[in-house]
Structure 1
């Protein structure tokens, strides 16, 4: 069920410690968690954290390596994928980020660094449809999200589903990728609903 592996922002805003630890394993509910090949599922995910959380993670264990303003965690999440933490100067301000990089690819860390800088230097705050969906998934409590299984109306193995509520208070699960623009807007926090739709590079 592993598909993603493109570099992608998975949370809008700056994650606090509680949110950071939730984001470290956004896919904990996936079926057959310890049987499938997960590196592609995690590699490429990134989000912003505070300086405090960046420094906290630096002090937990001796890093695997330190390269300038970046360091990698010694403990691997899955396969050759591990956490890399970045302190990046963007528009004159030092900001802090976490990303999952596949260290079997010698270019992955630099590609992640450049992708974060490019994304955060957008002249106008905007979000792609995929970023909107990833934020919704990241911000939704486990009780209201999951993975499609045989009980789902639209059974697609490994696809993410999320709870939708009607005006009458009833709920149903819908594939995350099938949410309409109106459903996406309703799930986003107010400050993100009206951001421009970012152009997706062809």
Structure 2
């Protein structure tokens, strides 16, 4: 399976509580879930949440630690990766975020905050190709997304797939990373289809 660990926005807009819980483990169905080091699968993922969800997560369990408006969950999803929640003032408004940080790296929490600020203070609303693909993965139901299995060529086995509609040919799986611009547009919600592209993730 392809694993990436750079900071990446995985959902556009503000996730409500039910969406937040669904995205806590977007990779639950991966075939190697319990094998090897899974840190790179999660580390660096982030998305915006609402204040109600932020407060709910703060109250649900005592945090591992709290530094001002930033707190970490004491339950780790894998290795040294855990949920870190932020309240960040951006353009005179406080906004809230969920992230996965690798706490073995003492700089990861501040580096993630800097990444969020850099992404969310862009003057033009835009989405990179990677962000479009991650959003598609986040909003696609489990029945319509999966992982390339043994019938796929060895180099891509374990890579993420999504179902496409092929007209008379019916539905078929395609590697997420190979979707064309037209296929991406068809999978995105209408309000996101025509945002300008961005070079930064």
TM bin (shorter chain): over 0.9
**Can you list the C-alpha shifts for 1:29-72, whole angstroms capped at 9, x where unaligned?**
10021113111110000000010000000001100001111000
Aligned equivalents of 1:144, 1:71: Cα separation in 2 = 34
Provide the TM-score with structure 2 as the length reference: 0.96
Listed as ranges, the matches of 1:122-141 within 5 Å are: 122-141=122-141
Corresponding residue of 1:197: 197
Instruction: Please tell me the root mean square deviation across aligned C-alpha atoms, in Å.
Output: 1.4
- Which of 191-200 and 78-87 deviates more? 191-200
| Structure 1 residue 152, shift from structure 2 partner | 3.8
Corresponding residue of 1:31: 31
State whether residues 165 and 171 of structure 1, in contact with CA within 8 Å, keep that contact through their aligned partners in structure 2. yes
Corresponding residue of 2:43: 43
State whether residues 152 and 173 of structure 1, in contact with CA within 8 Å, keep that contact through their aligned partners in structure 2. no
2:163 pairs with 1:145 = no
Corresponding residue of 1:89: 89
Aligned equivalents of 1:37, 1:104: Cα separation in 2 = 14
Aligned equivalents of 1:65, 1:144: Cα separation in 2 = 37
Q: When the two structures are aligned, how many residues end up with a matched partner?
A: 201
Q: For residues 37 and 154 of structure 1, do their structure 2 counterparts lie closer, same or farther at Cα, with a shift above 3 Å needed?
A: closer
Aligned equivalents of 1:32, 1:180: Cα separation in 2 = 27
**Can you list the C-alpha shifts for 1:86-143, whole angstroms capped at 9, x where unaligned?**
0000000000000000000000000100100110111010000000000000000000
Q: For residues 169 and 93 of structure 1, do their structure 2 counterparts lie closer, same or farther at Cα, with a shift above 3 Å needed?
A: farther
2:18 pairs with 1:3 = no
The gaps in structure 2 that reach 5 residues or longer are: none
Provide the TM-score with structure 1 as the length reference: 0.96
